[in-house]
Chain A
Amino acid sequence: MPTNQDFVPKIQVFEPHRASLPPLIPYIKEFWKRRTFAIELARFSDKAEYLDSRLGKVWLVLNPLLLGMVYYLVVTIIRGGHKGTGLTTLDHLLIGLFTFYFAQNCVTAGAQSITMGGRLILNQAFPRALLPFATAIQAFQQFVPTIPVYIFILVTGKYFYPATQVPGWTFNFLWIPFILVCVALTGFGLALVFATLNVYFRDTNKLLTYITRIWMYLSPVLWLPETLHGMGRLLLYVNPLGPALTATSDVWISGKGPHGLIIFGCLFWAIASIGIGGYFFISRERDFAIRI
């Protein structure tokens, strides 16, 4: 039986937009109203992704962990051993990789979210940004289990290799949520850019594979931020993930709070990514139903 709510008239007027952007306040309100859809879409996509896999979600941890081990072996061989730092290099590498993968998953899965959601886009009117938002939530859900694994490796590493640098309990750990929010916003913002590009140019995703690989090599994941000096440190700031990964290393490895400039860098890239990505995506999303 229909409820009273069903009969509440809902008047909508569809007109050509004078500006390139639709009215933003109704858009954001509708986006927020439909957030449950994005959360459930992320949950169900996650469920579907590992449904046929015997190890299921274990792969979420195994994949970056094995990759971390491989990179660790390579880095250790190049450096010629531990050099009295225990497993500090491995710890830096793992937390860097886990965090980088979180951002990378936001971007790569988000880039495909519009072209993969073709039927949904052709059938329903909703803020399209919900689709890359759902992939960002999914990337976060996949990132969360890597943290206890990292802590386990950190603690056991210290036990077997006492020279391993482990931060004690410190209030600087309170920076972690801030860093993760910045990484998520940066990843989501970039996902909006690449999702739009992918609608117009279907080979964007192929290009993205190379972009993310180069991006990782240019990020302080396989190398320590301290190794850069002078003008070289600019590399940390022109990279959208540079400040966040530097802050990650500072907090998780040294237990110290990030430098003011690094905090500014994190905020700058988060806001710039969302601003530029949001404008680029929302101003073109009315085109998606035609281009798909």
Chain B
Amino acid sequence: MSSDKKFLDVSHVSKNAAPMPEELAIRIEELSISYKVSLEAKRTLKNAVMRASLRQEARVRSIDAIKKLSLDVPHGSVLGIVGSNGAGKSTLMRCIAGILSPTEGRVTVNGKISTLLALGVGFNPALSGRDNIILGGLASGLTKEEIESKTDEIAEFAALPDGFIDLPVRTYSSGMYGRLSFSVAVSMTPDILLLDEALSAGDAAFKEKSFERMRQLCAEARTILIVSHALATVTDLCDTAIWMHKGSLLSKGKPEEIVDQYLKFLNVGSLPSNYEDM
């Protein structure tokens, strides 16, 4: 069988990585992430010295956050990730963003990434919204000129009330705070956008505006990964979904099917309320 697939040579970035099909935005190969967490109530130097003097070992627990996960995400797709708390969804997103390193396996990313994995990124509550947009943009890797040219556009998208953009962020409501974070993330015109529960920010009107912006990003062949407990978001926006459980990929398919499987697993039925926040 002949194949017209074109491959990207990634040997200049990693000697061990095989060429990646050009149509892929993200390739995850046999990814495992484990880490150790301390079981002590307080991690202090005092406790460490006491322990050392008593020749006791630190009480730690090993967590396997991701187990042998493999996944290909093509350019222009919107992938929803569902799963219960502790499934490894946020860990996976952070690994794709390069924030966490794999313990085993490999993640290859082809494109500029923008992330919204925690609200209020780079935000100093004492500074104005305008100052925070500049900080947030610079933290995302934009140049000062790029971010300054986008400040008004970001403020407009966040739909802040008149004059609020020049007020300290500590005076903002939580909705305004979330909208500003989201606006900074989507303004980067990223190739790959990673969102973790970011769409819970704002009211119904802003949510619709956010959906519209994401559809626009998809039309521009951008790739979006969404982690959400709001299953309606996954079925409305995504073209593919995966279900993660205890660090493993349980299934991948159409969002409706994955959500159905997930709801059956949770044994909560498919009442409309279950689609709001699971």
Contact = CB atoms under 8 A, between A and B. Distances in A.
Interface residues of A, number: 45
B250 interface: no
Contacts of A40: 134-135, 138, 144
Given A125-B97, A202-B43, A202-B44, A14 B102 contact: yes
A10 interface: yes
A201 to B, nearest CB: 4
Given A13-B10, A13-B17, A122 B127 contact: no
B22 to A, nearest CB: 9
A60 interface: no
A7 interface: yes
B201 to A, nearest CB: 14
Interface in A19-60: 34, 36-37, 40-41, 44-45, 47-49, 51-52
Given A36-B144, A41-B135, A48-B126, A122 B102 contact: no
User: Main SS of chain B's interface residues?
Assistant: loop
Contact of B110 (A11, A15, A119, A122): A11
Contact of A201 (B45, B118, B220): B45
A63 interface: no
A15 B105 CA distance: 6
A6 interface: yes
A203 B112 CA distance: 38
Interface string A213-240: 0000000000000000000000000000
B45 A204 contact: yes
| Most central of A14, A122, A124 by chain B CB within 10 Å | A14
Contacts of B10: 11, 13
A203 B143 contact: no
Given A11-B8, A48-B127, A201-B43, A16 B104 contact: yes
A17 B108 CA distance: 15
A286 to B, nearest CB: 5
B10 to A, nearest CB: 5
A37 B139 CA distance: 6
B120 A45 contact: no
Q: What range describes how many residues of B lie at the interface?
A: 35 or more
| Most central of B10, B13, B117 by chain A CB within 10 Å | B13
Interface string B118-144: 111111101100010011001111011
B45 A203 contact: yes
Given A124-B140, A126-B139, A289-B99, A203 B94 contact: no
| Most central of B44, B102, B106 by chain A CB within 10 Å | B44
Nearest to B134: A40
A13 B104 CA distance: 13
Contacts of A203: 42, 44-46
| Most central of A47, A119, A124, A197 by chain B CB within 10 Å | A124
Contacts of B126: 48-49, 51-52
Nearest to B143: A36
Contacts of A125: 97-99, 113, 115
Nearest to B97: A125
Interchain residue pairs A-B with the least CB separation, the first 6: A125-B98, A48-B126, A13-B14, A37-B138, A201-B45, A203-B44
Given A6-B191, A13-B106, 7 more contacts: A11-B108, A47-B131, A51-B126, A52-B126, A123-B116, A204-B45, A289-B99
21 contacts: A8-B112, A11-B10, A11-B108, A13-B107, A14-B96, A14-B102, A15-B105, A15-B106, A40-B134, A45-B124, A47-B131, A48-B124, A51-B126, A119-B119, A120-B122, A122-B99, A123-B115, A123-B117, A124-B97, A200-B43, A202-B42
